[in-house]
Amino acid sequence: MTLRRLGVFFAATLTAFGLTTAVPAHAATPAHHTGQLPDGASWVADVPPDWNGTVILYSHGFGPLAAQDAPDAATGQALLDAGYALVGSSYSGPSWWALSSAVRDQFASLDALVQRIGEPRRTIAWGTSMGGLVSALEAESGHRRLDGALTTCGLVAGALDLNDYQLDGEYALSRLLAPAQPVKLVRYANADEASAAGASLTKIVADAQGTAAGRARTALGAALLNTPPWLTGATPPGPADYAGQEQQQQLALTQFVLGFVMSGRYQVELAAGGNSAANAGVDYRALLAGSPQARQVRALYRAAGLDLGADLAELTRHADVTADPGATRTLARTSVPTGRLRVPELTVHTTADHLVPVEQENRYAHRVRAAGREPLLRQVFVDAAGHCAFQPPETVAALHALESRIGTGHWPDLRPERLNAAAAALGAPGRYLRYTPAPLTGARH
C-alpha cells in the first residue's frame, strides 16, 4: 500500500477507536523547521499544511546525536499525511547515552516549535529504544506539557539493570569459553578499547560453536543476557528445539549483539563518569534458575556431558566486578524510570528483541505498579523477531488507541484482534498477540 493510501486509512482506524480526524485527500509538502538550543542541541520539525492540532514529540534511540522527528521515513510520512506535526531534538550529550539532557532538550524543542506554529491541541511523546526510556521519563515529568506517551521497543528497565545483566552474560561467555584469554568488560579507556573487547568476545563465541560444550556455554551466556532464541525465519524454533534455539542466539550474539552492547558500554560509562555494573556477590545458580531459558541451558549441558552446577559455581566464585558509586548515582538520577506516571502511556514491544529484551517490560510494569500508577499504563506485544521491528500500521494503530484513551479518559479495547484489525485498516495485517513477558534475568536495582 502506498503512503498516500496509508494516510487515507487513518480515518477508518480512528473511527474504530471512537475518534475522528480530518485526513487529506492528497499529500502536501510540510513546512520544515530547524534550530539550535542554548545547550548546543539541534532540533527539527515538520508541520503539514492541514495540521490536525496534535504534535508528536519524537525521541530517537542510541546513536549519533542527530535530530530526528520520526522513527523512520515511512512512519513519518504517514503521520504527516494524516495531519500530525512532528518534532524532535538531537540531545546535547555528553555521549550517545544522552539521558542527562534528552528530556530537557525534547521539551525545549517543543517550546521552539510552539513559538513558530502556536500551542497544539494535544502533544504525545513517542520514543524508540533508548528514546523509549526518554518518553517514559517524559511521561513522569511532563504532565503539563504532554497528554500521553507511546513507548516503542523501549529501554524501560533503565540503565542500571541494563548494565548489570549485560555484564552477567558477557562475563559468563568470557569466563567459560576462554578463561585463558579474559576479555575486558568494564571501565574502557576509549571507544577503540570497547570495540576491540566486543570483537574479541564475538570471535570467542563464534569459535565455540564448533563443539557441544561451546554451544551449551553459549546458551548459558545468552540466557543471562536475556537473548531470545529467535532471530531469523517466520516463526521461532520449537519449544523443545534447544539446539535450534542456541543457533539463533549465537547468530544474534556474533552478528551484532556483542559488538553493539560492548561498544555501547563505553558511551554509557562516559555519560555516567564511570562504571555502574557489578557482579561481585551474585549467585549465578539463582540467576539461571529465574531465567525462562533455564530448561534449554540444562538440556544442552546434559547433551554435552557438562556439569552445569560446576560452571555456575565457577562463575559465582570469580565474580568480582564492582561499581563506581558516583556512576551508579548518576544513572539512577538520569536513566532509571520511577514508574510515577503522570499521563497515560502505552508501550509496544516485539516478543524477540535482541538489543532491548521484552523482559524489560515486565520490570517496568512492576515499577509502575509499585508506584500506584498502574491504571495509566498498558502494554501490548507484537509477535516478531528484531529490535523495533514494527510495521508502520502496527505502531500507528497503537497511537490511535492511545489517542482514544486521552480523549475519553478510558482505555479502549486493546485485545490483539482489535489492534490487528486496526493495523489491517492501515494497510498491513497486524501481528499483535496475547503475551506476558517473563521477569528480567539479572535485574537487581
Check whether residue 190 and residue 280 sit in a common domain: yes
- The residue whose grid cell reads 539532557 is 101
Q: How many helices (DSSP H) and strands (DSSP E) are in the chain?
A: 17, 9
7 confidence band (pLDDT: 50, 70, 90): very low
CB 230 within 8 A of CB 353: no
Confidence (pLDDT) at 28: 61
Residue at 177 is within a domain: yes
Q: Which domain holds residue 168?
A: 159-330
In this structure, what DSSP letter does residue 292 have? T
Residue 438 placed within a domain: no
Q: Is 439 among the domain residues?
A: no
Task: Report, as an integer, the average pLDDT of 122-134.
Answer: 98
Together in a domain, 164 and 131: no
In sequence order, the 6+-apart residues with CB closer than 8 A to the CB of 210 are: none
For 219, phi and psi rounded to 5 degrees?
A: -60, -40
Q: What are phi and psi of 440, to 5 degrees?
A: -80, 115
Cα gap 355→352, rounded to integer Å: 9
Cα 22 from Cα 52, distance rounded (Å): 7
Burial of 256 (0-12, 13-18, 19+ CB in 10 A): middle
20 vs 158: which has the higher pLDDT: 158
Q: CA 186, CA 163: separation in Å to the nearest integer?
A: 10
Q: Choose the final residue of a domain: 297, 330, 363.
A: 330
**What is the Cα–Cα distance from 362 to 100, expressed in whole angstroms?**
25
Can you tell me whether residue 37 is helix, strand or coil?
Answer: coil
Pick the more confident residue, 40 or 27. 40
Element (H, E) at 168: helix 159-177
pLDDT given for residue 17 in this prediction: 43
Q: Compute the average pLDDT of residues 266-276.
A: 98
Cell representation of residue 299:
538440556
Nearest to 417, CA basis, from 435, 399, 434? 434
pLDDT higher than threshold 70 for residue 323: yes
How far apart CA 100 and CA 126 sit, in angstroms, is 18
- Write out the E strands in 168-309: none
Both 75 and 138 in one domain: the answer is yes
- What is the radius of gyration, based on Cα positions, of the chain? 22
Are residues 75 and 207 part of one domain?
no
**Grid coordinates standing for 302?**
546434559
Model confidence band, residue 41 (pLDDT cutoffs 50, 70, 90): very high
Let me know if residue 250 belongs to a domain.
Answer: yes
Identify whether residues 16 and 95 lie together within a single domain: yes
Amino acid at 271: A
What is the distance, to the nearest Å, from the Cα of residue 100 to the centroid of all Cα atoms in its chain? Answer: 18
Q: Which amino acid is at 206?
A: A
Same domain, 167 and 139: no
pLDDT tens column, 166-201? 999 999 999 999 999 999 999 999 999 999 999 999
Is residue 195 included in any domain, yes or no? yes
Same domain as 424, residue 302: no
Last residue of a domain, one of 330, 348, 370: 330
pLDDT for 144: 87
Alpha carbon 336 to chain centroid, angstroms: 13
Backbone angles phi, psi at 298, to 5 degrees: -60, -40
pLDDT tens readout for residues 326-338: 999 999 999 999 9
Per-residue pLDDT tens for 338-380?
999 999 999 999 999 999 999 999 999 999 999 999 999 999 9
Output the pLDDT for position 143: 79
| For residue 46, pLDDT beyond 50 | yes
Residues whose CB is less than 8 angstroms from the CB of residue 254 and which lie 6 or more positions away in sequence, other chains included: 202, 205, 206
pLDDT at 6: 36
Q: Please state whether the predicted TM-score (pTM) of the whole model is above 0.85.
A: yes
Q: How many domains does the chain have?
A: 2
Strand-pairing partners, residue 43, are: 35, 89
Answer yes or no: do 193 and 292 share one domain: yes
User: pLDDT tens digit string along 197-215?
Assistant: 999 999 999 999 999 999 9
What are the start-end ranges of the H helices in 35-98? 73-81
The H or E element containing residue 82 is none
Q: Residue 321 and residue 277: Cα distance in Å, rounded? A: 7
Per-residue pLDDT band for 36 (boundaries 50, 70, 90) equals very high
Do the beta carbons of residue 97 and residue 130 sit within 8 Å?
A: yes
* Cβ proximity of 178 and 204 under 8 Å: yes
Q: Which residue has the cell 475519553?
A: 408
The pLDDT assigned to 176 comes to 98
Could you read off the pLDDT of 106-126 as tens digits, one per residue?
A: 999 999 999 999 999 999 999
Confidence of residue 42 (pLDDT cuts 50, 70, 90): very high
Task: Give the tens place of pLDDT for each residue, 401-442.
Answer: 999 999 999 999 999 999 999 999 999 999 999 999 999 999
pLDDT in tens, 8-35: 333 333 433 443 333 333 446 899 999 9
d(CA 96, CA 113): 24
Query: What does the pLDDT average to over 4-8?
Result: 35
Q: Identify whether residues 168 and 76 lie together within a single domain.
A: no
Decide if 283 is inside a domain: yes
Apex CA 418: angle with CA 228 and CA 390, to 5°? 40
Question: Percent of the chain, pLDDT > 90?
Answer: 92
Q: Verify that 92 and 239 share a domain, yes or no.
A: no
Q: Rounded mean pLDDT of the chain?
A: 94
In a domain, 91, yes or no: yes
Q: What ranges in 82-124 are assigned the alpha helix state H?
A: 99-117
Say whether both 420 and 358 belong to one domain.
yes
Looking at the predicted structure, is the pLDDT value of residue 317 above 80?
yes
60 Rama class: left (phi>0) / alpha (psi -120 to 50) / beta: beta
348 & 281 share domain: no
Q: Among 296, 330, 364, where does a domain finish?
A: 330
441, part of any domain: no
What is the structure's pLDDT at 60? Answer: 98
